[in-house]
């Protein structure tokens, strides 16, 4: 694993481009968000998705993967038509510590073994990710960096992350200490928006 240090407010663009090139070529990466650290790869990297599941010892369906998008307008490329009420709610809360569960379209489904009909969508408020997106050929697909052996453990300290995953993951983007609280999850696949998990993001 290569550990690369970034200033969380003013990340080096040249380094971000080099990392994006590696991700575009199939490498997997641990990165900070506006909540806890996440493990991800390019959405179109099917072997990378399988590798992430093996690392976290989870089946693909259990991994609860989300797309990391750069802006709201790009989300519609990967989902079925978004209801006006849902779109207004997304505009109110994003970017921020929220995950919106939406119905995925056929393009997204072909990269998953189980034809994933629903997909989480995130736009974290994080300058490192914002800069990385400029150079990626597709959104990142990611899952929270945690292990489950009786109790759920989240990794917030980059030193501990490096020690645990140094022989399993290609790149660690070190943006400092991560948060200990996950995103708030809103299910938008039904007729009403449903709060699935209240996390860092407050809801009205």
79: nearest Cα among 125, 122, 121: 121
Residue extents of the structural domains in the chain: 2-197
- The confidence band for 183, taking pLDDT boundaries of 50, 70 and 90, is very high
Q: What is the mean pLDDT of residues 169-191?
A: 94
The Cα angle at residue 138 between residues 9 and 86, in degrees rounded to 5: 80
What gap in Å lies between CA 74 and CA 26, rounded to an integer?
A: 22
Q: Where are the beta strands (DSSP E) in the chain?
A: 2-5, 29-31, 38-42, 66-68, 98-103, 118-122, 140-144, 146-149, 151-154, 171-174, 184-187, 194-197
Q: What proportion of the chain, given as a percentage, has pLDDT over 70?
A: 95
Mean pLDDT of the chain: 91
Would residue 84 be called left, alpha or beta, if left means φ above 0 and alpha means ψ between -120 and 50 degrees?
Answer: alpha
Closest CA to 155 of 140, 168, 137: 168
* Per-residue model confidence as pLDDT tens digits over 13-53: 999 999 999 999 999 999 999 999 999 999 999 999 999 98
Contact present, 39 and 154 (Cβ < 8 Å): no
User: Is pLDDT above 50 for 150?
Assistant: no
pLDDT in tens, 75-104: 999 999 999 999 999 999 999 999 999 999
Contact 156, 177 (CB under 8 A): yes
pLDDT level of residue 151 (50, 70, 90 thresholds): low
User: Is there a contact between 152 and 134 (Cβ–Cβ < 8 Å)?
Assistant: no
What gap in Å lies between CA 74 and CA 64, rounded to an integer? 21
* Domain 2-197, CATH homologous superfamily name and number: DHBP synthase (3.90.870.10)
Per-residue pLDDT at 114 exceeds 90: no
Q: For residues 133-154, give the mean pLDDT.
A: 81
Q: Answer yes or no: is pLDDT of 195 > 50.
A: yes
């Amino acid at each position: 694993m290569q550990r690369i240090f970034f200033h969380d407010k003013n990340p080096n663009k040249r380094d971000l481009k080099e990392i994006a090139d590696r991700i575009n070529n199939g490498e997997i990466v641990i990165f900070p968000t506006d909540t806890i650290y996440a493990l991800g790869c390019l959405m179109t990297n099917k072997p990378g998705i399988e590798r992430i599941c093996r690392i976290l010892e989870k089946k693909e369906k259990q991994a609860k993967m989300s797309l990391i998008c750069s802006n709201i307008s790009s989300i519609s490329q990967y989902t079925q038509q978004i209801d006006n009420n849902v779109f207004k709610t997304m505009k109110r809360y994003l970017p921020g510590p929220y995950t919106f569960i939406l119905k995925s379209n056929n393009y997204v489904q072909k990269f998953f073994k189980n034809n994933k009909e629903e997909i989480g969508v995130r736009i974290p408020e994080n300058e490192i990710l914002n800069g990385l997106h400029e150079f990626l050929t597709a959104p990142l697909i990611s899952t929270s960096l945690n292990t489950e052996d009786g109790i759920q453990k989240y990794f917030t300290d980059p030193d501990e992350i490096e020690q645990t995953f140094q022989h399993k993951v290609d790149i660690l983007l070190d943006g400092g200490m991560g948060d200990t609280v996950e995103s708030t999850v809103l299910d938008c696949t039904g007729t009403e928006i449903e709060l699935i998990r209240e996390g860092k993001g407050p809801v009205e």
